[in-house]
């Protein structure tokens, strides 16, 4: 079984436990904290994946960083995963937990990529438009890619709308290489 599938199953179990214990928001914050630490500290992430570092040492590092700062259920999942020698999936577990939390809370994960940063007015208009169409809250991630030239690429969950100048130029280029436009001459 792939790491992402295993992480997804652990995340699902942790969500159910968090709801049962009334600690969903706290454990969500814990998973965000864990992800932030992984993103900020490459050595920490590598240590979790390193087969040379003993599981006991990995558990000790997790305890040192998180003991007393996170919910007891979060520490329990760390304990279970280290006992099963699967520390490498912890970053995926944290990401998957956030995805499942958003799904449970009906929050759409939206990524918009533009050639220049969005203005606050345009950002608000975009979020309002998505909320109106989906009826869900929006967790917006903005990315800037100057190669788009203009327009935007919008991704909501697994759906994507590419309305960029770059993609339109590529489509036009394909039309011209097809030479079907020459048939009328």
Q: What pLDDT, in 10s, does the model give residues 66-125?
A: 999 999 999 999 999 999 999 999 999 999 999 999 999 999 999 999 999 999 999 999
pLDDT value, residue 52: 95
Contact 31, 70 (CB under 8 A): no
3-103 folds as Peroxidase; domain 1 (1.10.520)
- Considering the chain, what is the average pLDDT of its residues? 93
Give the tokens for residue 114: 């533009």
- Residue 31 pLDDT greater than 90, yes or no: yes
Angle between helix 3-21 and 90-104 (nearest 10): 50
CA–CA separation, 25 vs 113, rounded Å? 29
- Residue 7 pLDDT greater than 60, yes or no: yes
pLDDT value, residue 181: 58
Q: Scanning the structure block, which residue is given the tokens 């577990």? A: 93
């Amino acid at each position: 079984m792939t790491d992402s599938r295993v992480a997804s199953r652990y995340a699902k179990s942790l969500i159910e436990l968090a709801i049962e214990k009334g600690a969903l928001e706290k454990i969500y914050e814990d998973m965000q904290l864990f992800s932030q630490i992984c993103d900020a500290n490459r050595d920490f992430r590598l240590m979790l994946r390193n087969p040379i570092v003993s599981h006991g040492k990995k558990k000790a590092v997790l305890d040192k960083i998180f003991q007393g700062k996170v919910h007891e259920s979060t520490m329990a999942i760390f304990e279970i995963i280290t006992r099963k020698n699967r520390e490498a999936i912890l970053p995926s577990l944290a990401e998957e937990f956030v995805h499942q939390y958003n799904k449970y809370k009906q929050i759409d994960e939206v990524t918009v990529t533009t050639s220049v940063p969005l203005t606050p007015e345009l950002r608000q208009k975009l979020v309002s438009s998505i909320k109106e169409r989906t009826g869900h809250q929006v967790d917006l991630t903005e990315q800037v890619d100057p190669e788009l030239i203009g327009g935007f690429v919008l991704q909501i969950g697994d759906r994507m709308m590419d309305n960029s100048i770059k993609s339109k130029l590529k489509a036009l280029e394909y039309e011209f290489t097809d030479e079907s436009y020459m048939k009328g001459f």
